[in-house]
Amino acid sequence: MPELIHMLTGAVLNLVVALIVVRFIYYPVTQDKTYVFTFLAFNTVIYFVLSMLTNSTLSVGVGFGLFAIFSVLRYRTDEMPIREMTYLFIVIALPVMNSIMISGDSFTWLLAANGMVVALLFILEKEWGFRFSGNKRVIYDRVELIGPADRERLIDDLRQRTGLPVTSVEVRRIDLLHDTAELTVFYEEPKASKA
């Protein structure tokens, strides 16, 4: 009976941490429900599978093998973006960590590790101390502005034509035959709107 209480306590803690990560850190930034089901389902099932493995005669190595198989799963219909793959990896790693730590009576370490994961994700999603920029490649038709002396005019023209807050530009290739240039345009990513 104490083992069951131990496992259920760990399951509740694991689910609470996964809900905090998915509902209060991931979802407010992306406003995308597409992966919420996957994140929470993977997290919960993996916790119970690994709890069963750590309480049986099977090796924890089998659990890590299962973890490795799940972490490289790709859905054939859609490519999963890097951000969502990172969150999937986190919600898969949490139950591995939680099931091992709860079985080892390391409850303080368990709380500290989960707290650090949540705090780190929160800080990264709030962009505290970070400025994220995006970039796009464009084919530009005003080659007279690509010289170093006209850099500010080029950036102003790109801001006006693209509507992006362009911060810098890099000339990749010049095609004088067609009077075009291939540019990489760097711009500040707009902050996600809060709902």
What tens digit of pLDDT does each residue of 80-130 get?
A: 677 787 888 888 788 877 877 777 667 788 888 889 899 988 887 776 656
Looking up tokens 């790709």, which residue turns up? 74
What pLDDT digit, counting tens, does each position of 48-87 carry? 777 766 655 555 566 566 666 655 655 444 566 777 878 8
Mean pLDDT, rounded, for 33-51: 80
Nearest to 127 by CA among 22, 36, 29: 29
What pLDDT digit, counting tens, does each position of 9-36 carry? 888 898 899 999 988 888 887 777 888 8
Rounded Cα distance between 29 and 93, Å, is 21
- Contact call for residues 180 and 140 (beta carbons, < 8 A): yes
- CA 63 → CA 52, 73, 137, distances in Å? 9, 16, 43
All structural domains of the chain with their residue ranges? 2-126, 133-188
Rounded Cα distance between 147 and 174, Å, is 11
Rounded Cα distance between 70 and 48, Å, is 14
CB contact set of 137 (below 8 Å; sequence gap of 6+): 172, 182, 183, 184, 185
Q: Is the pTM of this model over 0.95?
A: no
* Nearest-5° Cα angle at 165, 163 to 171: 95
